[in-house]
Structure 1
């Protein structure tokens, strides 16, 4: 999140607002996440339209199947976005200009990357592992009764470390790229808008646009989400392959399997349409919800 120049955001507000935004975003966009994961795991009969994938799942497996693993995703998103927003805000405060409260592009992206490592280690890899295993299991053996049962079963079969941290390397690389590009590009856009005459110069007769308002926040977040998806899709595809319920080996084994199945470009960018549909919406929803949640939590806590 990028705080305005007149009101600095405390770590507590960043934590609460980020968690609130993460939960809202995860619930609203989960069908796209489900469709993307299914395509990355199985190709889903060559269907590339996310709405058709969702429709086929509802028709064949019922509506509840579409939200398999959603509770894990929501919990993970609350924790992930709480951690990465507070980490990003804390890191950027160390490097920002004390007068304008802005960062250079390289500093914005670097701050996001560091926040990505923190969030991947603390919350993202474990919750992504369980979510992916649940989605895979819903298509195959259907033996997991709940996220906790899934965790207990995988721990017994594969050991605690692999049960929670399978795919850590690719997940962390994805989070470095995702958080770096998403928060970094969003921060760059907000800083540019703060300096831009189009948004701020009243003397030239240009109407002021509220850069913290929902419309601008959604547009900035959607653009940041698009950039993020295209740049980090290969990491996401390999991560999904490694984290399926049935063990497939390590990161290199998963990458080789993907290339053998579909080739380099088609394989590594498998599920891009589904993920793009989700991340464009997710980016808009996440940053809009975060901006509005920040205002609400400030009022609630009197800050």
Structure 2
């Protein structure tokens, strides 16, 4: 009988494909289910919007957008997320698993906050390089008055009018936001997961609670950087000349502070937290589920391959003569 495996670390013989597939499915689930809150967050963070796009809060934004533009508007740009989230999250989780193992995050029963935090940072650097262009396209499609209705048309317009640099103008800022975000998220998630479930057995409720707490905490502390990222990624559609000329994080911070003071750095914090709390819970729960299923299937395959063949019993009466030369009696007679 095969020993019960620890699903938190996939079997050593499991393929990279298992980690990639689990991560891709988790990423798509995370970004699509809570997409309307991300849409509202972007609208609230854009500086100098038109009068029709000034919102006093989440409920006001929801009412105004659905009332004047239709409910379908809140899903504009989701196709960019679906296209980018699959491969970027596959790379994200595969890098995390490999780095966590390399940094000693799977050794013993301790919390290993530094190891998991460092693994989360490495995963972010790799995945953001792939996801950043899709995130730029998504936010260009989300802003009020956007004429883009497809990922392809938006990408071609950006490339033609602003060049390839438009897809990566926010990448340094994105890394400055997502590296601490993911470090906080991974470390917080692993901490709560081990506190709430010391046995380490698969428990969906643990992943939901731990993921929600990790996502909300990480989202709240990194909101100022997210506001700056939104300014840089939507600058091409701004009518304000100063915003259009912004070239990096320093310019973005200066503009935000001069126009809105310290309050400007927490614009959209409500929908950002409300978006990340359930989406991170969904992401981790989906990832852990598929990791558990794939790990169980791999363990079963290994157990079946190692199962010994049945022993054949040979009757002595037909295989060996007795000492007297007569056939030996059959067993049991």
TM over 0.5: yes
Please list every run of 5 or more consecutive structure 2 residues that lacks an aligned counterpart in the other structure.
Answer: 1-5, 238-243, 303-333
Map of 1:18 onto structure 2: 23
What CA distance in whole angstroms lies between the structure 2 residues aligned with 1:37 and 1:65? 13
Map of 1:241 onto structure 2: 231
Deviations along 1:206-252, one digit per CA (max 9) or x if unpaired, are xxxx7532211100000100111122111111001100142442122
Map of 1:280 onto structure 2: 277
Map of 1:38 onto structure 2: 43
Secondary structure in structure 1 of the residue aligned to 2:30 = helix
What CA distance in whole angstroms lies between the structure 2 residues aligned with 1:154 and 1:98? 43
What CA distance in whole angstroms lies between the structure 1 residues aligned with 2:59 and 2:17? 38
Of residues 116, 136, 139 in structure 2, which corresponds to 1:132? Answer: 139
Q: 1:193 Cα deviation (Å)?
A: 4.6
Give the direction of change, closer, same or farther, for the CA distance of 1:180–1:10 in structure 2 (3 Å limit).
Answer: farther
What CA distance in whole angstroms lies between the structure 2 residues aligned with 1:52 and 1:82? 36
Map of 1:88 onto structure 2: 96
Give the direction of change, closer, same or farther, for the CA distance of 1:216–1:191 in structure 2 (3 Å limit).
Answer: closer
Q: Which is helix-richer, 1 or 2? A: 1
What CA distance in whole angstroms lies between the structure 1 residues aligned with 2:39 and 2:136? 14
Map of 1:152 onto structure 2: 156
Please tell me whether the aligned partners of residues 92 and 103 of structure 1 are also in contact (alpha carbons under 8 angstroms).
no
Give the direction of change, closer, same or farther, for the CA distance of 1:51–1:11 in structure 2 (3 Å limit).
Answer: farther
Larger mean Cα displacement after TM superposition, 231-240 or 90-99:
90-99
Give the direction of change, closer, same or farther, for the CA distance of 1:186–1:257 in structure 2 (3 Å limit).
Answer: same
Please list every run of 5 or more consecutive structure 1 residues that lacks an aligned counterpart in the other structure.
Answer: 201-209
Give the direction of change, closer, same or farther, for the CA distance of 1:124–1:135 in structure 2 (3 Å limit).
Answer: same
Please tell me whether the aligned partners of residues 38 and 135 of structure 1 are also in contact (alpha carbons under 8 angstroms).
yes
Matched, 1:172 2:175: yes
Secondary structure in structure 2 of the residue aligned to 1:88 = helix
